[in-house]
Amino acid sequence: MKATVPIKDKLHPNNKHNTHYDFDRLCLASPSLNPFIIQNKMGNTSINFADGDAVKELNKAILKADYDINGWDIPAGFLCPPIPGRADYIHYLADLLTATNNGKKLNHKQVIGLDIGTGASCIYPLLGQRTYQWQFIASDIDDKSIASSQAIIDNNKSLAPFIKLRLQNNNQHIFKGLIKTRDFIDFTMCNPPFHESLAQANQGSARKRRNLGTDKKTDSKLNFGGQKAELWCKGGEQAFIKNMINESKDFSHQVMWFTSLISNKDNIKPLKKALNKAGALDIRVIDMAQGQKISRFIAWTFLTPQQSSLWCKTRLS
């Protein structure tokens, strides 16, 4: 079979997925992907990216072949993340940490990250641990997501010492009640809910189906799925991140970098304004170009450059 299907280019140089999907290798690693293999219009081996089951099997194969993750799975209807873009966030975070350490090599095994909204897939902790040996606190407000993530860790015992799950019991809070008094965290990360309402999320689902070449009115599911907390919240992305900014002030000396993805570039200006008002001392917007799509995350810290350097020296050297 032809096994060189290009995926989005311009991923981070260290991203394993910046060339193509090698379906021969992926099917060898995870034979359950085989039934979903098709020949696309260009005559190349591929899958139907509008088929949620096919996407999930592709993820399972990638995680097995490239990250030695066994038995990965998520419950029906939960967000199934595209791995290449998720890996980019991890690599650009590593760059941010290195830059904070004045370009000097870090002891990555000492790095502790906090994933806000880890979901049922636990994808960021899996990628971060396997790629850089980072430690993670993986949090979510949904107990089913926590249970699913725990099942993935249970299937991969080597992950257990490095990924700790925490349930956020108060859906009005992000960091409060989650970061403990003795916690010191090198970065936080988040893929916030983008939409402002269920109706808006459904409209986004319809657009995605059209873009993927299927527009069946009877099929209301996104190919990547998603629950309420994963897809929408009151006020959407901007309101969620502003709440995160407000709470981050209370943990200004327990966290070196706070970060969050931003889907809508129009949110950058008001979020920078909110950060300046909150007293952030360093604010960065880091672009992640992925083909025709530009993703980005915003990062902020309340530490001075001297404090950040001392943090790296005492914790990460």
Name all domains of the chain by residue range, CATH numbers in brackets. Answer: 77-315 (3.40.50.150)
User: What are the pLDDT tens digits along the chain (317 aa)?
Assistant: 444 444 445 899 999 998 889 999 999 999 999 999 999 888 899 999 999 999 999 999 999 999 999 999 999 989 899 999 999 999 999 999 999 999 999 999 999 999 999 999 999 999 999 999 999 999 999 999 999 999 999 999 999 999 999 999 998 999 999 999 999 999 999 999 864 544 444 444 444 444 445 544 444 444 445 444 545 467 789 999 999 999 999 999 999 999 999 999 999 999 999 999 999 999 999 999 765 677 899 999 999 999 999 999 999 98
Q: Which pLDDT value is given to residue 199? A: 47
- Please state the φ and ψ torsions of residue 246, each to the nearest 5 degrees: -60, -40
CA distances from 190 to 19, 49, 238, 244, 296 (A): 26, 25, 13, 10, 12
pLDDT digits (tens, 9 = 90+) for 285-295: 999 976 567 78
Spatial strand order in the sheet of 185-190: 163-167, 135-140, 112-116, 185-190, 255-261, 293-301, 282-290
Tell how strand 112-116 and strand 185-190 pair up: parallel
pLDDT digits (tens, 9 = 90+) for 230-287: 454 677 899 999 999 999 999 999 999 999 999 999 999 999 999 999 999 999 999 9
CA distances from 106 to 13, 133, 180, 300 (A): 19, 12, 25, 20
- Neighbour-count burial for 32-59, b at 16+ CB within 10 Å, e otherwise: ebeebbeeeeeebbbbbbbbbebbbbbb
